[in-house]
């Protein structure tokens, strides 16, 4: 009996330009409650069966999708819009952010309110995974899985993986 094996191939994109710099604070997380910033690095791995050209996913599609997902976060203050601990109030061109006894007033254009309960690297990796998939559209349909890793300054990384 002839056994036909299906080979799977994993790809990885870990480029220097797959990054962004941003400020944030983590509600109810001790010293991380203070407003602070990071240089974030993003890596993406995906696995699937290569097509007739031997390609799992065209890097010329994946790399711009990563860059497009990161760009709106670069040099911004990341705000967890779904956090029960954070109060937000818009006042013209300003955004007032309340947390415990703290009150920040910032230009709205300097902030990104994310549909997340936290701006931890764990939450950011899931958020970026979804944004990358949106950008890939049908090109990502042949994948078995995709995983996005987000690193704070290269020392701490969180990964979110989606199986298909």
Looking at the chain, list the stretches that DSSP marks H as alpha helix, in order from N- to C-terminal side.
59-70, 121-136
Burial group, residue 87, by CB count within 10 angstroms (0-12, 13-18, 19+):
exposed
CATH number at 142 reads: 3.30.479.10
- Asked if 47 and 143 count as a contact pair (C-beta separation under 8 A), the reply is yes
DSSP character for 151?
E
- Asked if 112 and 127 count as a contact pair (C-beta separation under 8 A), the reply is no
Residue 98 within a domain: no
Residue 104 within a domain: no
Once rounded to an integer, what is the mean pLDDT over residues 65-77?
A: 97
Q: At what angle do helices 59-70 and 121-136 cross, to 10 degrees?
A: 130
Burial group, residue 3, by CB count within 10 angstroms (0-12, 13-18, 19+):
exposed
Residue 17 within a domain: yes
Residue 68 within a domain: yes
Owning domain of residue 19? 9-80+116-163
Burial group, residue 32, by CB count within 10 angstroms (0-12, 13-18, 19+):
middle
Measuring CA to CA, which residue among 127, 121, 132, 131 is closest to residue 156? 121
Residue 89 within a domain: no
Residue 97 within a domain: no
pLDDT digits (tens, 9 = 90+) for 11-44: 999 987 799 999 999 998 899 999 999 999 999 9
Distance CA 78, CA 99 (A): 14
Residue 85 within a domain: no
Q: What's the number of domains the chain is made of?
A: 1
In the block, which residue shows the tokens 């109060």? Answer: 87
Residue 88 within a domain: no
pTM of structure: 0.93
pLDDT digits (tens, 9 = 90+) for 73-108: 999 999 999 999 999 999 999 999 999 999 999 999
DSSP letters along 84-101, please?
TTEEEEEETTEEEEEETT
Does residue 4 surpass a pLDDT of 60?
no
């Amino acid at each position: 009996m002839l056994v036909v094996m299906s080979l799977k191939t994993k790809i990885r994109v870990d480029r220097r330009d797959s990054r962004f710099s941003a400020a944030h604070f983590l509600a109810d997380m001790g010293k991380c409650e203070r407003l602070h910033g990071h240089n974030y690095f993003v890596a993406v791995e995906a696995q699937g069966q290569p097509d007739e050209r031997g390609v799992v996913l065209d890097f010329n599609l994946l790399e711009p999708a990563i860059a497009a997902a990161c760009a709106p976060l670069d040099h911004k203050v990341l705000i967890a819009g779904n956090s029960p601990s954070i109060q937000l109030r818009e006042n013209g061109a300003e955004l007032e952010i309340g947390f415990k006894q703290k009150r920040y007033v910032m230009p709205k254009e300097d902030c990104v309110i994310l549909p997340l309960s936290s701006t931890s690297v764990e939450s950011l990796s899931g958020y970026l995974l979804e944004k990358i998939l949106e950008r890939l559209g049908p090109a990502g349909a042949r994948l078995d899985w995709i995983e996005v890793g987000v690193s704070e300054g290269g020392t701490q990384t969180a990964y979110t993986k989606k199986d298909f």
